Chain A
Amino acid sequence: QVTLRESGPALVKPTQTLTLTCTFSGFSLSTSGMCVSWIRQPPGKALEWLALIDWDDDKYYSTSLKTRLTISKDTSKNQVVLTMTNMDPVDTATYYCARGCHEGVDYWGQGTLVTVSS
Chain B
Amino acid sequence: DVVMTQSPLSLPVTLGQPASISCRSSQSLVYSDGNTYLNWFQQRPGQSPRRLIYKVSNRDSGVPDRFSGSGSGTDFTLKISRVEAEDVGVYYCMQGTHWPPGLTFGGGTKVEIK
Contact = CB atoms under 8 A, between A and B. Distances in A.
Asked if A and B bind, the verdict is yes
Interface residues of B, number: 26
Given A46-B107, A111-B48, A105 B102 contact: no
Contacts of B108: 46-47
Given A46-B92, A96-B48, A102 B107 contact: no
Nearest to A65: B102
Given A46-B108, A47-B105, A111-B48, A104 B100 contact: no
A11 to B, nearest CB: 20
A62 B51 CA distance: 21
Nearest to A64: B1
B54 A104 contact: yes
A105 B38 CA distance: 11
A41 to B, nearest CB: 8
A52 interface: yes
A83 interface: no
B103 A108 contact: no
Contact of A60 (B37, B51, B94, B102): B102
Contact of B102 (A62, A106, A109): A62
29 contacts: A46-B108, A47-B41, A47-B49, A47-B108, A48-B105, A49-B102, A49-B104, A49-B105, A52-B103, A60-B100, A62-B101, A102-B37, A102-B96, A102-B97, A102-B99, A103-B35, A103-B54, A103-B96, A104-B39, A104-B51, A104-B55, A104-B96, A105-B51, A105-B96, A105-B103, A108-B48, A108-B49, A109-B48, A111-B48
Interface of A: 37, 39, 46-49, 52, 60-63, 96, 101-106, 108-111
